[in-house]
Amino acid sequence: MTIDSKEELFRIGLIATDPLRVLGLKTIVAEGGSAEVIDVDGPGALDSSGVSMVLIDAACTDHLFELIETFRRSRPHLRLIVIGLEEDQEHIQRVIGAGAKGYLSHTARENEIRMAIEIVRDGSVWAPRKVLARLLEASSTERQNTPAEPKFTERETQVLQLLVAGRPNREIADALGIDAATVKAHVGRLMRKMGVDNRIALSVQAVHRNLVAK
């Protein structure tokens, strides 16, 4: 991850007890000087920390869902990413449904961890694509009035292709030579044209409807 020198350092809380995992996550997240990682032991430790995202190692608690619920009630603005051993789709779907904005396996690679953080920071959800597709399935019937063939500008098509590839706003902006605010505006127009209300729904619908080149 890269960051403009004038931009405020992004602060991420970390709830983990395994020393090696703590060190590894801190090293991965902080690479490039774009983020500062702060050890926390629960919602109460965040009052004056300036943290806007929290990574939770599921192995450090026997009450993961209770912890997520506590964060939801006391710090609803925080974006939570759970890192766990479970790879079962039902479990991951339950974690996302409980309020986490992302789920990573303990075996996730460094670039996947950084990408998840960027995607969640951009306001979207990170999880295996099959899980996200299932989360969208329940609401798919509400989108039957979506135009069969939405018309995109050339720039919107470029943005959509990079979005489907899992690229966060900053990387899309760099690739197209525009700023992140312009990317965000394009994504907003794409969502309106597709009749969806979030980036993941936009990506999944674009793939399912063959609206981007593979």
75-130 pLDDT per residue, tens: 888 899 999 988 888 888 889 888 898 999 988 888 888 888 888 888 778 887 77
What is the rounded CA–CA span in Å between residue 102 and residue 99? 9
Section 20-45 average pLDDT: 77
- Antiparallel, parallel or unpaired: β 102-105 and 53-57: unpaired
Task: Look at residue 125 in the predicted model and tell me its pLDDT.
Answer: 83
pLDDT at 32 over 70: no
- The domain boundary residue, chosen from 99, 128, 157: 128
Is there a domain that residue 5 lies in? no
- Whether 75 and 177 share a structural domain: no
Task: Look at residue 214 in the predicted model and tell me its pLDDT.
Answer: 53
Residue the block writes with tokens 């007890």: 17
Domain containing 61 — which CATH number?
A: 3.40.50.2300
Is there a domain that residue 214 lies in? no
How many domains does one find in the chain? Answer: 2
Q: How confident is the model at residue 33 (pLDDT cuts 50, 70, 90)?
A: low
127-164 confidence digits (pLDDT tens): 877 777 776 665 454 445 555 678 899 999 999 988 88
Task: Look at residue 190 in the predicted model and tell me its pLDDT.
Answer: 92
Task: Look at residue 2 in the predicted model and tell me its pLDDT.
Answer: 43
Q: At a CB cut-off of 8 Å and minimum separation 6, what does 198 contact? A: 123, 124, 125, 191
pLDDT at 43 over 90: no
Task: Look at residue 150 in the predicted model and tell me its pLDDT.
Answer: 83
- Whether 40 and 120 share a structural domain: yes
* Region of poorest pLDDT, from 32-36, 66-70, 157-161: 32-36
pLDDT at 57 over 90: yes
Residue 68 domain boundaries = 10-128
Tokens of 143: 């989108």
Mean pLDDT computed over every residue of the chain: 81
Tokens of 173: 């902006």
Domain containing 152 — which CATH number?
A: 1.10.10.10
- DSSP output for 41-76: SSGGGGTTT---EEEEEGGG-S-HHHHHHHHHHH-T
- Residue 37 pairs in a beta bridge with 12
Q: Is the pTM of this model over 0.75?
A: no
- Whether 105 and 199 share a structural domain: no
Task: Look at residue 58 in the predicted model and tell me its pLDDT.
Answer: 93
